[in-house]
Structure 1
Amino acid sequence: MPSEATDTAEPPLVIEEAWGSERDGPSLPNEIDIATVDRYVNATSVAVQSETLPAATFDEVTVHGIVRGQSQPVSIDDDGTVRETNLELTVLEANSSGALVQATVTEKATDDPITTGRVEVGNQSTTVNASGMAVLELESRPSVVVDGEYIPTEWWRANQLYSAAEDRVKIPPKYPGFQKIVQLILVTLLWFLPVALAVYGFDYLSGGTFLGLTDQQ
């Protein structure tokens, strides 16, 4: 089965993944000079997908093994409809060293939490929990916005199919706290008050001729 497109045609089916039981590699006599592997996977399940063939055009797929004469027809079952999802990102904390982002994944039609799949934000990825939420810690602070994506479980592993979803949230501006503002005002007054008093005193001693701040008699 071709897994890549050629110059003349697209592949009818693409192998997405194959899995099965892991077994020990075979031992061969010394007379046979062929390298063998220590462990190998005996594939019993194969997930295939088509981008060009409508689902109504075929009812089954026959998978041929590497052993001559061995084949197995597999029926194509309807996996149901794909449900639309919503992803909502919330910035919990943000400072110069990083950010803490909460992701919430829900079903668009019912607003119920989705408990399967994973969320990617920046270079971080984690699975959602039983409440449809995930918390990711970014090691570096994003400049302006944070982009995230919900990636559902592969269709061949999921009982219910969901669509992918994206969201973008802005980093809240970092305003100084009230205490820091008060401290800044006090420091500014302490710096400029002596200078202002000195200038006023000099103007007073000069009879108001220096800056005209005092009344001339």
Structure 2
Amino acid sequence: MKKTLIIFFLSFLAVNIKAQDNTGEQKKANDWVAELKLNNAKKEETVKNLIFNHLVAVKDWHNSHPASTVPAGINPRTGEKLNELHRSIIADSAMPETVHKTLMDGLRQELTPEQVIFILDKYTIGKVDFTMKGYKAIVPDLTEQEEKTIRTYLEEAREMAIDYKNMKQISVIFEIYKDKSEAYLNANGRNWRQLYKDYVNKVKAEKAKKSNEK
């Protein structure tokens, strides 16, 4: 009897610890959906569950597939040794595609396209608009077609990035698509390296001017 009670208590404790471990994910789901102001209790609950289940699935996969599960080899594209961050991304990228599909299909069924974008921006702390702002600063005469193409790349990065656990990983995913954006500019008559160099020099000159004015 005593042994049975101990087992029951440990099981109860394990369940509660697991529930406590997911409070952060639940808070995110609740807060993000609250900001949508859906005014529909059933829809709110459905969307909350979609987000919560996805966040927990991403976290659980990440925690159960550490970087150490990926051999410390090299990046076949660059020849550089894989660091721990790269290895963690490789491990997390093996998460079943159904996790991503379930979330996206559910969001698109319950929400408008604008509301889906809002949720994806919450996952990635608005990195699409932030990065786009950077491109416009570096390339002031960015054409409408260039802006459209780059934004499309960044939106692809945003949707891919939601399946990763932390901002370091998310930033690496965005770097993949930033490389694509810069290659696109170079292929269409721009010189990205020179544009970036000119921008950095301009920022330094402006800072120096402000400093001298004080």
Task: With the length of structure 2 as denominator, give the TM-score of the two structures.
Answer: 0.22
Query: Could you say which structure has the higher helix fraction?
Result: 2
Task: With the length of structure 1 as denominator, give the TM-score of the two structures.
Answer: 0.22
Structure with more relative contact order (C-alpha pairs < 8 Å, separation 6 or more): 2
Query: Could you say which structure has the higher strand fraction?
Result: 1
